[in-house]
Structure 1
């Protein structure tokens, strides 16, 4: 693909025999087919100085002189700087915009894709030239073959550990006792009752332990600091996760903190500081803190007790608008908690099934697929962070940097890998079991998603939306099939 340009040099009138001289110039041009040419005349005066002069060549303008069915997609300018040199020589420095280079690169790969057949399904946007351009330039000769390497990621093959492994699925689902409808409804009623009470300052005692049979818990405002304890009992590093300032601590919620914390601060008074060692249990949610000894320092800034109204029918409408009796309040809260419990059980079951599928397959995951899924996950989490936290431009730029993304990909490598395994195994089961879903459902969900994008005035790719919706519907169908055919055991923790 070349643009054949004619440079016309006008010489001094005193030399009439050489009033003009035509010199062919070849400029790489991505906008035309290999048979297209254009006459571009660059007039250079003999009286011009030796200083460089920029000349802009508009690709859009040049394309208008060519009869082609393709619309010029890149109205970019190729900048040509002209410098006159001794011995009747002119130097033209050509600057090609990045968008033109990218388009040329893409067109080469597109042409390669048309003429080559790769075993397996090539992944979208994974094709890349593997040979360095410096090597191609060094090896290039008009008389010889030009060789270069093209790398393509293909859809990975799903290999099951055993035949029909997914058909004999055995799953153990752990259910947290907090989602038990009866327990949850009692806790919710308690929370609503406490919200109707008044907080009053404690003046004559320290923090009291909550006794379910006789009293309401105290509320303390605490500053909490923690450091690790070395093997020689020396002070270690700070534990940022455990540090809190102005933390509102309800003694009724003591079970949710590290074991031993509540007992260690019983009796603390306003303005008092207590220091004590504790051990993070092996079941702690932060893996890096499991089994770690820590020295806690707690300062009590304020101490309150609750003055609650008597729990009877007179509070019904305040506890739950529209209710007239306490029993009605209890029944409606229990009903809602049962719905939550059912949803939580289904979600826990699906998660356990997907986790089990990861152990039953072997997949060689392409890097392009890993990065695509990882970047989507990072983007989703960044959006959640933006929605919950006001980030300034500097913070947003830092979190959006390539370094931050790559660090996330490395830290979350195992999680991202499992997500891809789950996605591919679900797709494979959908195909093997000849599962289907109504086309009308796909159309409806796509239309709803498009409408949501339009409502928020956001750009969208309808084809990409369709692919995502199809994946979701396929996944739902497969999980439904697996729940029906798997051996599932529920245990409460």
Structure 2
């Protein structure tokens, strides 16, 4: 077999394979499994059958296709042997169409096909010091402030002890819980209504009006005074920073139906409620103290994670990597799948919304819009792997990926929901602390 390397991208090896000597031999050998799968009249099972009779009974195309498959099985490992140690898993692509190979089949000519494979990228450090003497600035989100988090948690526990009462004599106000049917259509540039937006629609949607962080700006304000049985229609625009990429900047006409409206009847917040708010407590002071202590632990963890994230972010800026197509696709699809799981858990997406968000078009739109972020995460993972390799530590880039896979398997084994993006981040953070 002759192998020729063609010009290719830095991480994409393109090989031309020419098969000569084994061609007719494989053609002859291919007939054996074909004969075994057919009962040809006049011949015992698995016994040799003359070629002309076999071709007449089975058909030349079937024999040719089987021969092409046999050639590929036999020659692909040899063709990829030179890059076996660098090839990325599941990145092999036979560029020549199978139909073209079968149609050009002839024992009198050279059998030729092209194959490509992505290989592990080279990590190039942009600084002579590489990762040495690294300095970072850590920014802490306000949400992890222990004092504020404790107040929010106490309020959440208090609300959980309240009773829901039907609102009968007024419209919706902040603090109520409302059940809605939501419909949405895009608005074109000329102001006319366009197509429906399934991912923005929901029936029986439960909205706690005190927790509206995920709503489109102006949505809640458009519902103030809303009464059961009433329908309202209003235009809004999704912000450019909206978490669902396909809706960023989209103008939409919302039609909302109020199905049910409730208010919470909350018990008085005194010592008699302490044990219900937090088992084991007898006074409100104990409740507040213990909740604050837990929030301080969360704050400490958040600071550690923010520090790790800052280090990872800086490491990603210190390396230059040509990210292979296969690695980009794999990482991007994993992140998108994790994002869908998160949306489903938070918003309880219905089947139509899941189908819309799972389409190939939606996935590709996500990959393109998040290309910079996906490449950044890959560079961080590769940089960490290089540090372990340079310092002769136990974990390599491959082990880093394996650790993520093992963590995911644990979640699957116990049927627990998981966010693959968070798992990757946590594994990276553990390795950073190990350093």
TM-score range, shorter chain: 0.5 to 0.7
Structure 2 gaps of 5+ residues are 1-21, 415-422
Higher normalized contact order (CA 8 Å, seq sep 6+, divided by chain length) = 2
Instruction: Give the superposition deviation at 1:145.
Output: 8.2
1:110 aligns with 2:98: no
Stretch moving more, 178-187 or 409-418? 409-418
CA contact (8 A) 1:171 1:352 kept: yes
CA contact (8 A) 1:430 1:474 kept: no
CA contact (8 A) 2:241 2:248 kept: yes
1:428 aligns with 2:428: no
CA distance in 2, matches of 1:289, 1:318: 42
1:21 aligned residue: none
CA contact (8 A) 2:140 2:306 kept: yes
2:123 aligned residue: 158
CA distance in 2, matches of 1:331, 1:104: 72
1:324 aligns with 2:279: no
Distance 1:221 1:136, change over 3 A: closer
1:189 aligned residue: 154
2:319 aligned residue: 361
- Richer in helix (by share): 2
**For 1:205, which of 167, 170, 195 is the aligned residue?**
170
2:14 aligned residue: none
CA contact (8 A) 2:68 2:102 kept: no
Secondary structure class of the residue paired with 1:269: coil
CA contact (8 A) 2:185 2:195 kept: yes
CA distance in 1, matches of 2:91, 2:350: 33
1:27 aligned residue: 29
Distance 1:338 1:382, change over 3 A: same
Distance 1:155 1:281, change over 3 A: closer
CA distance in 1, matches of 2:161, 2:90: 58
1:479 aligns with 2:432: yes
CA contact (8 A) 1:320 1:329 kept: yes
Structure 1 gaps of 5+ residues are 5-24, 32-39, 41-50, 63-77, 210-216, 457-468, 483-493
Counting matched residue pairs gives 390
Normalising by structure 1, report the TM-score: 0.59
Distance 1:320 1:166, change over 3 A: same
Higher Cα radius of gyration = 1
Distance 1:136 1:184, change over 3 A: same
CA distance in 2, matches of 1:96, 1:305: 74
